[in-house]
Amino acid sequence: MRTSLFAVVALLSTGPFAYAADEKPADPKVAPKITYDEHIQPIFREACFTCHNQNEAKSDLALDSYARTMAGGAGGECIIAGDVESSRLYALVAHLENPKMPPNQDKMAQAKLDLIKQWILGGALENSGSKAKIKPKVSLELVTTAGNKPNGPPAMPEKFRRQPFVATSRAGSSTAIAASPWAPLVAVAGQKQIMLHNSDTGELLTILAYPEGVPHILKFSRDGSVLLAGGGRGGSSGKVVLYNVKSGERITEIGDELDVVLAADVSSDLSRVALGGPKKMVRVYSVADGSLEYEMKKHTDWITALEFSPDGVLLATADRSAGLLIWESEGGREYQNLTGHTGMITDVSWRSDSNLLASVSEDGSIRLWEMENGKQVKTWAANAGGSLSVEFASTGTLVTSGRDKICKVWNIDGKELAKSEAMPDMVMDAVLTHDGKRVVAGDWTGEGRIFDAATGKTIGKLMLNPLPLDQLVVYAAQQAADADKAAKAAADAAAAAKQTADAAAAAAQAAAKKAADTANEVKRLEALRPQLEKETPNKQKLQRDAQEAVGKARRLANDAKTAEGRAAMTAKQKADAVTAATAAVKTLEAEVAKQQAAKNDAGTSAAQKKLEAAKADLAAKTAATAEAAQALSTAQSKSKEFSTALAMAEQTAAKASTDLEAHRKAMADAVAAFKTLQPQVKPLQEAVGKAQVAQAAAAKSAQEKAEAAKLAAEAAAQLQQAAQRAAADKAEFDKSSSAQASAS
């Protein structure tokens, strides 16, 4: 069975759609006209007519004619000419929000979505003869004003009563909650009493009596000095009471209704109180004397919500039949009649600059209204099943609560900033604290909680059924002990988170250094390679020249060695000749001596001639031997010289070869290193990014845990003080009760 395009429009309304910052509505004078008749109806016929036609208009939406399409359905307008982000129909068919349409089908083709988008931007024209009527967008920017900030410290209770006026077995429904605009203070309605809590710690500060019945509305004055309570007994009586926040004393009582007061507020100057309820009448009273200033009788159903604008100029009132009216607070003249909601309006809230009004309804939507023309400027789905409360924070953010058991924090554009953890039952009321950091909420079962406005996590609970003091003392002591334990755990978590953050910072620094070193080395290697290649020819030439020099030196050394050998041989031959000639001389000298001894003159003369010839031959050979020896010495010197030159040439050649081999190895190493490191650069840089992200996350976590530890320590200290105060209160109460008993 097909689900209707707006099957839950009673719960959801126009939502935001983000498009490019520079995208603007098309100028109808120059842009091609996209029209319903020619372009859009065929798309709707194919995808939507089955469920959304004049015969079967699910959620009261029919898309089979231009008029019915522009009229919208149960959730109001679904097409806002010129404003895609406020056109809920586009958000659903583009699958930007739930329920995605058409149901149980893939998103329609992008070309069709673009056509619908351009149709809306162009003014949502019916046909080619239509003229675009695009409403100018209203600025949603918060105008900062001094507001009603009090002079001096904001009002906080100075007198304390923690003994409840009524003690019951369980808490009643949280009919009303209010937050001081300037102080950590929240007021919560109870049975015939109002509890004031510290919104930072959840501590019960004091209890105010409201014997008139059950408060259905609580409001702090704009300066936070006065608390308004309105309520009573259903079908019997109703009254508004103003309390002094500091003293807890009643300032005045306003009105005397015949039925319970469901809605009330006090003007920012504390001069008027407006109230309303089942009698369908809005009455405005003077605070000074309690007199009725005027009445508004236009509403046709119960008055369910009302609020003065912060500047005191206007008064917004709403009823059970979706009526929403704006009045001039001076005199009650009607100013605007705002239509759009389809269910009971459950709450209204003005933004601090009085330029915007927020309203929520049982139809599940939240709507923003500007006051110059009374136009709706924004709407989106708030709480499924129905929204029960809405409140602007001073920062311009909003909080809503509803039947879906949760609270949601929104920005002004309808973006959900946080969603609370679910409560046991529907959340009757929810408020943002003075600093916007916490949400305080109460549900149908009477449970009260404090949520972190940034995360939606529960950070505390409120005692909405206050214990008698004797029980409170025990409870407070246990709360303090639990808080001390939680503070220690938070401190340990903060210390561990800091260690993790320090480790992440060191890892990020190491990763950055490694990535930088690698990138620099790759850059160096990339530049080194051409330099080495350029030097290679020179290295090769040096090696070749050195080898040639070795060859030449070797040839010269060999020649010198050969010459040395020849000279040595010649010297030896000459020496041998001298030896032989010397022997011949000696032989002849002996012969001469012999002939002389024989006195043989002829023999002596002949021998003498031969001896002289031998001596002359010896002298010649001795001279030749000396020359040969000199030649040998010269040849040896030359051989040694050339041997030394050869050794030097070989050494030079060896060095040149070694240098060339080292150069080639350096080139090979550079290429290999480049090939190894270059692919690592990008992953290392990506690792740096991841490490930095991890560092930022760890630092953020450490900061958050440090802040949480600080808050936990502060809460523990405050709860310890609360336990001490509870004990002191009990002692004082017991003393007072004893004195009263003695007096009686």
Q: The domain spanning residue 220 has which CATH number?
A: 2.130.10.10
165 within some domain: no
Lowest mean pLDDT among 15-24, 72-81, 568-577: 15-24
CA dist., res. 504 & res. 499, Å (int): 8
Which residue in 721, 56, 86 sits closest to 369, CA to CA? Answer: 86
**Final residue of a domain: which of 112, 137, 162?**
137
Strand order of the β-sheet with 398-402 is 387-392, 398-402, 407-410, 416-419
Domain count, the chain: 3
User: Does residue 420 share a domain with residue 546?
Assistant: no
Confidence (pLDDT) at 517 = 94
Residue range 608-651, pLDDT digits in tens: 999 899 899 989 999 999 998 999 899 899 999 999 999 998 99
- Do 408 and 536 lie in one domain? The reply is no
Confirm if 482 and 720 have CB atoms less than 8 A apart: no
In a domain, 480, yes or no: no
Q: Write out the residue range of the structural domain in which residue 365 sits.
A: 177-466
- Same domain for 308 and 223, yes or no, is yes
Residue 264 or residue 723, greater confidence: 264
- Element containing residue 187 per DSSP (H, E): strand 185-189
Query: Both tokens of residue 639?
Result: 């051989």
Q: Give the pairing of strands 237-244 and 282-286.
A: unpaired
439 lies in the same domain as 312? yes
Question: Would you say residue 170 lies in a domain?
Answer: no
Quote the CA–CA distance of 170 and 414 in Å, as a whole number. Answer: 37
Task: State yes or no: pLDDT of 199 exceeds 60.
Answer: yes
Rounded Cα distance between 362 and 340, Å, is 12
Together in a domain, 667 and 731: yes
Which letter does DSSP use for residue 397 in this model?
Answer: -
- Taking residues 340-365, report their average pLDDT: 95
Instruction: Give the CATH number for residue 706.
Output: 1.10.287.620
Q: Report the pLDDT value the prediction gives residue 540, as an integer from 0 to 100.
A: 92
358: left (phi over 0), alpha (psi -120 to 50) or beta: beta
Q: Is the pLDDT reported for residue 440 higher than 90? A: yes
- Is residue 157 included in any domain, yes or no? no
Distances (CA, A) of 531 to 384, 536, 674: 73, 9, 14
Are 597 and 505 contained in the same domain? yes
Task: Specify the range with the lowest mean pLDDT, choosing from 122-126, 147-151, 277-281.
Answer: 147-151
CA quadruple 675, 677, 681, 682: dihedral, nearest 10: 50
509 and 462 in a single domain? The answer is no
Domain shared by 410 and 451, yes or no: yes
319 and 273 in a single domain? The answer is: yes
Question: Residue 410 domain-assigned?
Answer: yes
One domain for residues 130 and 25: yes
The percentage of the chain sitting over the pLDDT mark of 90, rounded to a whole number, equals 65
What does the pLDDT average to over 250-264?
96
Is 707 domain-assigned?
Answer: yes
Secondary structure of residue 305 in the 3-state scheme: strand
Percentages helix, strand, coil for the chain (3-state, rounded to 5) are 40, 20, 35
Q: pLDDT tens digits, residue range 450-472?
A: 999 999 999 999 988 888 888 88
Within this chain, do residues 218 and 271 fall inside the same structural domain, yes or no? Answer: yes
DSSP character string of 115-148:
HHHHHHHTT-BSSTT----PPPPPP-------TT
Residue 169 is assigned to a structural domain of this protein? no
Nearest to 497 by CA among 697, 693, 692, 702: 702
**How many helices and strands (H and E) does the chain possess?**
6, 28
Q: Is 484 inside any structural domain?
A: no
Identify which of 463, 451, 452, 440 has the alpha carbon closest to the alpha carbon of residue 176. Answer: 440
Name the domain boundary from 89, 117, 137. Answer: 137
Q: What is the per-residue pLDDT for 143? A: 55
Q: Please check the confidence at residue 75 and state whether its pLDDT lies above 90.
A: no
Asked which of 116, 137, 158 is the last residue of a domain, the reply is 137
The C-alpha atoms of residue 544 and residue 553 are separated, in whole angstroms, by 14
Both 501 and 598 in one domain: the answer is yes
3 state DSSP class of 598: coil
What's the confidence (pLDDT) of residue 725? Answer: 79
pLDDT of 97 > 90? The answer is no
